């Protein structure tokens, strides 16, 4: 395993720290399973790798939700997906547009914001704070 660390990118450092914690937990689980079995099996290792990726994805979704909630205070009463996605990606380039959009959808479901015009093609959706 090779790690590249950019000490100037705080969001990337936080993500890496979380990923390493997930991998550490997965290695501990592999050791435990190895000790329980006389011969560990490859499918277990593969499912653990998939589980680690999924856990990192869930953590990034949570990070996106927190960031989007925090950024909401800096936006005008009316804003678009372009406004929030742009600011969120500048704040944390590691977050995907999908994670940010999921965070926006979560805020709509909770009634924090309301969609006033759906996006269409290249035109972004418009929202208003409640």
Is the pTM of the predicted complex or chain greater than 0.85?
Answer: no
pLDDT confidence of residue 53: 44
pLDDT (tens digit per residue) in 1-18: 577 788 888 877 877 777
**Nearest partner of 18 among 62, 67, 65, 48, judged by Cα:** 62
3 state SS for the chain: CCCCCCCCCHHHHHHHHHHHHHHHHHHHHHHHHHHHCCCCCHHHHHHHHHHHHHHHHHHHHHHHHHHHHHHHCCCCCEEEHHHHHHHHHHHCCCCCHHHHHHHHHHHHHHCCEEEEECCECCECCEEEEC
Q: Is the pLDDT of residue 123 over 90?
A: yes
pLDDT digits (tens, 9 = 90+) for 63-119: 888 889 889 988 999 999 999 999 998 888 878 888 898 899 989 999 999 999 999
Q: Delineate the domains of the chain, giving CATH numbers in brackets.
A: 10-129 (1.10.10.10)
């Amino acid at each position: 395993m090779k790690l590249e660390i950019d000490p100037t990118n705080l969001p990337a450092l936080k993500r890496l720290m979380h990923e390493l914690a997930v991998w550490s937990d997965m290695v501990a689980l592999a050791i435990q399973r190895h000790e329980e079995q006389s011969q560990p099996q490859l499918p277990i290792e593969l499912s653990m790798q998939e589980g680690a990726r999924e856990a990192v994805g869930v953590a990034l979704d949570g990070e996106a939700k927190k960031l989007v909630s925090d950024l909401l205070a800096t936006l005008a009463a009316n804003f678009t997906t372009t406004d929030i996605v742009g600011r969120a990606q500048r704040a944390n380039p590691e977050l995907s547009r999908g994670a940010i959009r999921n965070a926006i959808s979560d805020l709509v479901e909770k009634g924090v914001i309301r969609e006033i015009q759906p996006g269409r093609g290249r035109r972004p959706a418009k929202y208003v704070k409640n």
